[in-house]
Amino acid sequence: MDSFLPQVLLPVALGIVMLGLGLGLVVADFRRVVQFPKAVVIALVCQVVVLPAVCFGLVLALDLPPVLAVGMMLLAASPGGTTANLYSNLFGGNVALNVTLTAVNSVLAVFTLPIVVNLSLDHFLSGTGQVGLQFDKVLQVFAIVLAPVALGMFVRSRWRPFAERMHRPVRILSVAVLVLVIAGTVLQERDTLVESFEAAGLAALAFNLISLAVGYLAPRLAGVGRAESVAAAFEVGIHNGTLAIVLATTLLDSTEIAIPAAVYSLIMFFTAAAFGYLIRPRTAAGASSPHTTTQTSGADAAHADD
C-alpha cells in the first residue's frame, strides 16, 4: 500500500493534470509570446533564475534540514500551475498571457528543473547516498511533463469539439486529484506531520509570498501593464505542487522531500486569494468584471483563430 501512492496514484494524478493543460492549449499559445515580449521575458527570468536563487537564500537563512531544503528547491524549480489561470481570471489578469506562460514554462521546466534539483542534491545531500536525477530520470521528467500535454494538444487539434467539452471536466477532475494527492502525502507522513509543518511551513509561506510579490512588482517596475503583471504574478507565484510531489516521491523516492510542496499547496490557495484581493483595482465592486471577461474572451478568441 505504501508503494501504491508514489508508483501508481501520483503519476496518474499528474498525467490528468497535464492532460487537462494540453486540452486547453494550441500552437498559437506559443506564438503569442511575440505579443507580450517584455512580460514573457520578465516572468520567465523570475521563474527560472530569480526564484531558485531566492529560495536557496531562504532555506539557508532558515537553516532548514537538508531533505526539506531539497524539497523547497524542487518546488522553486517547478513551473507555474494551472491554478494560476483561475486566479488571474478572478482578479483581472490577462488570461491569454497566463496560458502562454504556462505553455512555455512547461517546456522550459524539462531542462531547468533537473539542473536545479541535481545542484540542490549535490549541495544539501552530498555524501548521504541520495541519488540525483541521472539522464534516464531526466528523460522521465520529459515524459511526465510534456507527454500528457502533447497528447492533450493533439486531441484538441484533431477533435476540437470533444476537447472543448472535456476541458472543463478534466480541470475539475484535476482539482479533485490535487486534493487527493495532498491528502495522500499528508496521510503517509501523518506521524511527522506536525514537525514537518513546523519545519517547512514558514519557508513555504515566505517563498509563496515572495514569489507573488516578485511576479507582480518586477513587470510593473519595468512598465508592463497591470493586467499582464497580474497574470505574471499568479504564474510566477503559484508553483505546480503536484509536479513537485510526484517527482519527489517517484524519481527521488522520498516522501520527506515532498513535504514542502504538500505544505505549500495547502497554503497557496489562501495566500493567492489574499494577494489578489490586495492588488485588485480600487474601484466599484463590479468594475473589474468587464475587464476579466475581456481577458478571458481574448484567450478564447486566440484559440478560435488557430
**Could you tell me the pLDDT band of residue 175, with boundaries at 50, 70 and 90?**
low
Asked whether 83 and 48 are in contact (CB, 8 A), the reply is: no
- pLDDT digits over 237-285, tens only? 988 887 888 788 777 878 788 889 888 987 888 899 899 989 877 654 4
Take residue 83 and report the three cell numbers written for it.
491554478
CATH at residue 235: 1.20.1530.20
Residue 272 three-state SS: helix
Asked whether 91 and 279 are in contact (CB, 8 A), the reply is: yes
Q: What is the mean pLDDT of residues 137-150?
A: 67
Statement: residue 295 has pLDDT above 50: no
Which residues have C-beta within 8 Å of that of residue 79, sequence separation ≥ 6?
47, 102, 105, 106, 108, 109, 113, 145, 239, 240, 243
Question: What is the end-to-end Cα distance of the chain in Å, rounded?
Answer: 45
Which residues face 239 on adjacent strands? Answer: 80
- Percent pLDDT > 90 in the chain is 19
pLDDT value of position 215: 93
Q: Lowest mean pLDDT: which of 88-92, 168-172, 278-282?
A: 168-172
The parent domain of residue 197 ranges over: 4-305
Take residue 175 and report the three cell numbers written for it.
482539482
User: Total structural domains in the chain?
Assistant: 1
pLDDT value of position 10: 61
C-alpha span between 134 and 150 (Å, rounded): 24
Statement: residue 289 has pLDDT above 80: no
Statement: residue 298 has pLDDT above 90: no
pLDDT value of position 89: 75
pLDDT value of position 302: 46
- Side chain identity at residue 268, one-letter code: M
pLDDT value of position 299: 46
- pLDDT digits over 194-250, tens only? 776 777 889 999 999 999 999 999 999 999 988 899 999 999 998 888 788 878 877
| pTM to 2 decimal places | 0.73
Statement: residue 296 has pLDDT above 70: no
**Could you tell me the pLDDT band of residue 81, with boundaries at 50, 70 and 90?**
low
Greater model confidence, 82 or 54: 54
Highest mean pLDDT among 53-57, 116-120, 137-141: 53-57
Q: Which helix (H) or strand (E) holds 133?
A: none
Give the distance from CA 26 to its chain's centroid: 19
- Side chain identity at residue 75, one-letter code: L
